[in-house]
Amino acid sequence: MIVVFGANGMLGRELMALAGPAARGLTRAEIDLADPSSAPEKWLEGASAVINATAYTKVDAAETETAVNHRMNAEVPGELARACQAAGVRFLHFSTDYVFPGTATKPIPEDAECEPINAYGAAKRLGEEAVLGTGGHVMRTSWLFGAHGPCFPKTMLRLAKERGALRVVADQVGCPTAAADLASVALRYLQNPPPGPQMLHAVGPEAMDWCTFAGRCLSAFRAVSPGDLGEVPIDGIRTEEFPTPAMRPAYSVLATTRLDALGLTPMRPLEQSLRDFWRQTNSPS
Which residues make up the interface to ligand NAP (CB under 6 A)?
Answer: 6, 8-12, 27-28, 32-34, 53-55, 57, 72, 94, 96, 141-144, 149
Of 7 and 89, nearer to ligand NAP (C-beta) is: 7
Give catalytic status of residue 98 as yes or no: no
- Check if the beta carbon of residue 203 is closer than 8 Å to that of residue 145: no
Q: 10 Å Cβ neighbour count for 107?
A: 17
Candidates 91, 63, 67; CA nearest to 193 is 91
Residue 27 or 212: which CB sits closer to ligand NAP? 27
CB of 277 to ligand NAP, least distance (A): 13
Min separation Cβ 271 and ligand NAP, Å: 19
Residue type, 132: L
Nearest approach in angstroms of CB 31 to ligand NAP is 6
CB 130 within 8 A of CB 76: no
Query: How many Cβ atoms are within 10 Å of 61's Cβ, its own excluded?
Result: 15
| Pick 96 or 281: Cβ nearer ligand NAP | 96
- Three-state secondary structure call for residue 257: helix
The alpha carbon torsion through 9, 226, 224, 280 (nearest 10 deg) reads: 30
Chain position whose Cβ is nearest to ligand NAP: 9
Catalytic residue among 56, 98, 120, 251: 120
- Nearer CB in complex with ligand NAP: 24/28: 28
Contact between 177 and 142 under an 8 Å Cβ cutoff? The reply is yes
Quote the least distance from Cβ 171 to ligand NAP, whole Å.
Answer: 19
| Count of CB atoms situated within 10 Å of the CB of 175 | 25
Q: Of 25 and 196, which CB lies nearer to ligand NAP in the complex structure?
A: 25
Helices (H) and strands (E) in the chain, counts: 9, 12
In angstroms, give the least distance from the CB of 92 to ligand NAP.
11
- The catalytic residues are 120
